[in-house]
Amino acid sequence: MKPEEMYEAYEDVSDALEASWEEQDSAAFTEALGILRHLAETGVVEAISALAEILALPGPHRDQAAAYRWYFIAYSAEDYRTEFIEQPGPHYVGPVGDFRNEAPVVGLVDELGFDRIRRLDEEACGWLGTHKIFFSDPRDHRTAKRP
């Protein structure tokens, strides 16, 4: 699939998810979420970000570990810092530009704990080492970054 086709597929699945948002247990939402997951696994940054957001929210599809891992990948494409800085206290406070300081991720870090976060960081880096990531929007001329 060409990037422009990926973008069209992403736009279509976004519309389907929005249309069925109030019924997340429905077959329509579950099917659209599966398509979104496929686009994310293909490396579409927009889909990766959207999947992370859905998995982080309360509801039937909540999966904190998967949300964190997808956020790691999405934010790394945006050139955020991904290196884990050891912390003395119970809450992570990374340097400026650390994706773990971003609002959607802070709570996940607290919920999952530092040991689990380090393992998820390794998984995300492994995924990035074997997948190409890209922005599918033809109007977006950024190049996805790697940690």
Residue 139 predicted with pLDDT over 70: no
pLDDT at site 92? 78
Residue 90: domain span: 3-130
Residue 101 parent element (H or E) = none
pLDDT at site 58? 94
Q: What is the dihedral of CA 111, 115, 121, 126, to 10 degrees?
A: -130
In a domain, 145, yes or no: no
In a domain, 17, yes or no: yes
Residue 146 predicted with pLDDT over 80: no
In a domain, 144, yes or no: no
In a domain, 136, yes or no: no
The per-residue pLDDT for range 46-105, each reduced to its tens digit, is 999 999 999 999 999 999 999 999 999 999 988 898 988 877 777 777 888 899 999 999
| Full-model pTM | 0.88
In a domain, 137, yes or no: no
In a domain, 103, yes or no: yes
In a domain, 30, yes or no: yes
pLDDT at site 134? 80
The per-residue pLDDT for range 7-53, each reduced to its tens digit, is 889 999 999 999 999 999 999 999 999 999 999 999 999 999 999 99
Q: Which amino acid is at 86?
A: E
In a domain, 79, yes or no: yes
pLDDT at site 143? 52
Dihedrals φ, ψ of 85, to 5°? Answer: -105, 125
Q: How many domains does the chain contain in total?
A: 1
DSSP state of 127: H
Q: How far apart are CA 143 and CA 145, in angstroms?
A: 6
DSSP state of 128: H
